[in-house]
Amino acid sequence: MRIEVETTLTKRLLRRYLSYTVHRRQKGKAALTLAACLLLVALSCGMLLLDPTQPLGFIGLAFAALFFVGFVSMPRWAAALQWRNVSKDLTTQRFTFGDDAAEVANDASGRVQGRSTVRYAGLLQAVADRDAFYLFIQKNQAFIVDRSKFPEGADAELAARLKEVCGRKWVDLRG
């Protein structure tokens, strides 16, 4: 297998990547956050039933709503903030996928250049969603490869190879 792809990081891809990483880190925290919000709502409603003239019950309800909306919107905010720090020189990369490894080249820039080889067996995690592949080389660092840039059928071939090599480290979100 030899697949060559040149991909450019876009705001949409970065937003999806950050959404995935934030949700992955907060997987266990979501139920806890929802429970805290529900407890705050229950306490606020109890305060309002006991004494409707006290503003503390309304403040508690407003705080619970803001807290929950903030938790749900956090991945989008993180993506918006993170995009400002992305160097324009690092946004275009050329990938050459082989049987056991991928070679990543960043030589489109005059300022930042480099090559690296990523062995599939050494990946921390490989994730595929409907827009991209995320090849995690560290807990919060991944190569992002746009699926729309692949030749016809090559993305399915790469997905099958990653699933075979990565085993339990393969996550398919294409649904």
∠161-13-144 over CA atoms, to 5°?
40
Please count the CA atoms within 13 angstroms of the CA of 143 that sit on its side-chain side: 27
CA distance linking residue 120 with residue 139, whole number of Å: 15
Per-residue pLDDT of the chain in tens (175 residues, 90 and over written 9)? 899 998 887 777 877 777 777 666 655 566 666 677 777 777 777 777 777 777 777 777 777 777 666 666 665 566 566 656 655 545 688 899 999 999 998 866 565 678 889 999 999 999 999 889 999 998 878 899 999 999 999 999 999 999 999 999 999 987 6
| DSSP designation for 124 | S
Whether the Cβ atoms of residue 157 and residue 149 lie closer than 8 Å to each other: no
pTM over 0.95: no
- Token pair 């790469």: residue: 158
Domain 3-8+89-172 CATH class label: mainly beta
Q: End-to-end distance of the chain based on CA atoms, in angstroms? A: 25
Q: CB within 8 A of 34, min separation 6: which ones?
A: 68
Residues 6+ apart with CB under 8 A from 77: none
- What does the pLDDT read at residue 80? 62
